[in-house]
Amino acid sequence: MPRAFKVTHDVYCVGGGDISSSGDCMVYLIDCENNEFILVDSGVSDAEKILENIEELGFEPKRITHHIITHCHIDHIGNSAKLKKMLRFKVYAHTPDSEVIETGGVATGANFYGVSYEPLKVDVIFSKPQETLVVGKHGVKILHVPGHTPGGICPYIDVRGERVIFAQDVHGPIFQKFGSDRKQFAESLRKERDLDADILCEGHFGIFKGKDKVRKYIEGYVTEFSV
C-alpha cells in the first residue's frame, strides 16, 4: 500500500484512496511548527490508519491542535468525531456546513455511502467571505467557496514562495439534494483559479504542481460548470 508523503515544505498527504481507505477523501497535514499541526479533513472509514501514516512520517498525532473541515460530505468528515475524542483538537468549519457537521442528516451524504455519521461540535465557525486562521508560523487563509456545498471553504497557505491551496472537490459533483448550486460553484471555481496557486491539493484526484497545471485543471471545471 502506498504511504503518506510530503507534498511540499510543511505540507503532507496522510490519507485518501490507497493511502488509508478507498472511500476516503485525500487528507492533508500542515506543519505549523511550535508543536502544532493542522489536519485538513479526515476521511470516512479508517481513522487509525491515518494516525499510523502520521506516525510513519515521524510526527506525533497528539500535536494536531486544529482540524479544518472543507465541507460537510461524509468522505471528508466521517472520522472527525472519533479523531477529536482521541486528539482533542479544535474543529473549524464555515456556516452553514457547520450546522450539518453538528447535526448530521441527508446533506452529509452518509446514506449515499451506506455508513453512519457521528456528529461533532464545531469549535470555531467561519462566517465571512475570507478569514485568516493563525497557527504557529502559518496564517491560513479561509476562502468561502459555496456551490459544491453551501459552506464549502478553500484553505490556502503561502510557504517559501509557493501558494498551496486545499481546494478539495474542484471536480464537484453537483447534487441538489445535498445543497449544491451550479452557478455558485462555477463562481467559486473562478475564485480558486484566480488564487494563482503553485500547488493544488485536490480532494480525490491528487496533487497538481505548477501554476499552469493548476490553472488548467481548475479552468476545465470552470468551463464544465458554467454551461
Taking only the tens place, the pLDDT of each residue in 191-217 is 999 999 999 999 999 999 999 999 999
For residues 75 and 113, the answer to whether their CB atoms sit within 8 Å is yes
The three cell numbers locating residue 132: 485568516
* Band of pLDDT at residue 1, cut at 50, 70 and 90: low
pLDDT of residue 185: 97
- At 25, phi and psi to the nearest 5? -70, 175
C-alpha cell at 62: 497528539
Enclosing domain of residue 121: 5-226
What is the domain-level CATH number for residue 108?
3.60.15.10
pTM of the full predicted structure? Answer: 0.97
Question: What is the structure's pLDDT at 175?
Answer: 87
Distances (CA, A) of 133 to 31, 48, 57, 124, 209: 14, 27, 25, 10, 24
- Cis peptide upstream of residue 173 (ω within 30 degrees of 0): yes
Number of domains in the chain: 1
Q: Measuring CA to CA, how many Å separate 155 from each of 57, 96, 109, 114? A: 23, 17, 22, 29
The residue among 41, 37, 2, 31 whose CA lies nearest residue 202 is: 41
Cα(213)–Cα(78) distance, rounded to whole angstroms?
Answer: 30
